[in-house]
Homo-oligomer: A and B are copies of this chain.
């Protein structure tokens, strides 16, 4: 889930600084000190975003950006250009070359990360606003709403995700481990029994709304959402 970011920067100190910040923010960082190595990394790692310094030992960043844009395989990778302070022409040329954003040195880590996230967000495919329906329930992911036969149901964030998962994966048993992976994420580490508690909480909200026995216990295996 975490995005891969390629840092193309010849100055080792700055390279490390960038990598440190990028990783601290939960992204995967890889580095290249020259245009040549950058190409290599791009092919091997398929980064989701490239931080590209304006000055490189072998080629200028602008040229590399243009090359990346010209190649069908790398055309879609967003680029953030790192330019020196006040170089008016550089910025213009940087944007012209196809960079998605630029940031002038010196910059604060916070601004850098904000721009990275903004660019990644802009390039993320926007999910259409669909509605999920199952077992008399209606769930709108975009509006973050659930309703049972017209009556709105209040859910906490985790219960919402859990129910969403069940509704889109009905009629099938999931183990606590699987549910933890799917609903909590593979990066979180909580007790398996926590699932039980949340199932119970979900049931507690669903039952008063007449939605009875929607989530069934499969002893020894896990839980199942079923329309029956």
Which residues of A approach B to under 8 Å, CB–CB? 13-14, 16-17, 20, 84, 88-89, 91-93, 95-96, 101-102, 105-106, 108-111, 114, 117-118, 121-122, 129, 142-144, 156-157, 171-173, 177-178, 181, 186, 189, 218-221, 224, 226
In the complex, which residues of chain B have a beta carbon less than 8 angstroms from the beta carbon of A108? 95, 101-102
- B13/A92 in contact, CB under 8 A: yes
Task: Decide: B92 and A143 in contact? CB cutoff 8 A.
Answer: no
What CA separation (Å) do A198 and B173 show in the bound complex?
A: 23
CB distance from A83 to the nearest CB of B (A): 9
Interface residue from B84, B95, B177 paired with A106 (Cβ < 8 Å): B95
Minimal beta-carbon separation of A202 from chain B (angstroms): 16
* Contact call A114/B189, Cβ cutoff below 8 A: yes
Contact of A157 among B84, B92, B221 (CB under 8 A): B221
Complex Cα distance, B66 from A129, in Å, reads: 43
Picked from B84, B96, B122, B224, the residue with its CB within 8 Å of the CB of A17 is: B96
A28 to chain B, nearest CB (A): 20
Some 22 contacts from A to B, beta carbons below 8 A apart, are A13-B92, A14-B92, A16-B96, A17-B96, A91-B105, A91-B106, A95-B106, A95-B108, A95-B109, A102-B106, A110-B189, A117-B177, A121-B178, A121-B181, A122-B186, A129-B172, A142-B172, A143-B224, A144-B173, A144-B224, A156-B219, A157-B221
